[in-house]
Amino acid sequence: MQQVSYLRRRCTDQGKIETFLLQARTGVIGMVSDNLPYAVPVNYLWHDGSFYFHGMGSGRKESILSRQPSVCITVYKEHGTVTDPVPCHADTSYMSVMIFGKAEKVTVADEGAAVLQKLLEKYLPKYYSHPLTGTLIEKYRSALDDNAVSIYRVTPQEMTAKENAAEPESLFRTEMRPDNPV
């Protein structure tokens, strides 16, 4: 596990990290393209200790990952701004996880269908009445010359987590503003 430099913020509670990754909805994938950083927000699935994401089977992200599969993924959630009587002590309440690894393209149709099904259940629960199958995914891909969808799996080689938990009553609310008559 990478070392978090601000030790007070380090989160080592694996149950809390797992729950956070299961519930958060968006992550940012950092890649390197021709010595420049390239970061893309994605919807994702955390499943069996791996981070899955999908996208078009063509485009810049696909091109970069085919040449350089090393990635850094950040999943975070801001809970709000923590107030303090001293202005310089105001802070942010948050939870974040960083995952370092290599993006591997999922090539087995049944694994891809299962991942896409779980993504549908996460983002559109009970919307579709029939589950996806590997055969459907293969037909979809072949109809669009394999550019229809790519699914990637990142199994963490390293992972860090940080949090700054705060009680809800310590978070800034609009009615706390001095110029806001209550």
Nearest to 163 by CA among 7, 40, 26: 7
Give the tens place of pLDDT for each residue, 4-43. Answer: 556 788 999 999 999 999 999 999 999 999 889 999 999 9
Instruction: Give percent of the chain above pLDDT 90.
Output: 48
pLDDT at residue 134, rounded to an integer: 64
pLDDT exceeds 80 at position 64: yes
The residue whose two tokens read 């001095």 is 178
Q: Backbone phi, then psi, for 121, in 5-degree steps?
A: -65, -35
Distance, in Å, from the CA atom of 20 to the CA atom of 122, rounded to the nearest integer, reads 14
CA of residue 157 relative to chain centroid, distance: 16
- Cα–Cα distance measured from residue 71 to residue 61, given in angstroms and rounded to the nearest whole number: 11
Contact 115, 16 (CB under 8 A): no
Q: Tell me how far the alpha carbon of residue 110 is from its chain's centroid.
A: 23
> pTM higher than 0.85 for the full model?
no
* Ordered structural domains, the chain, with CATH: 7-167 (2.30.110.10)
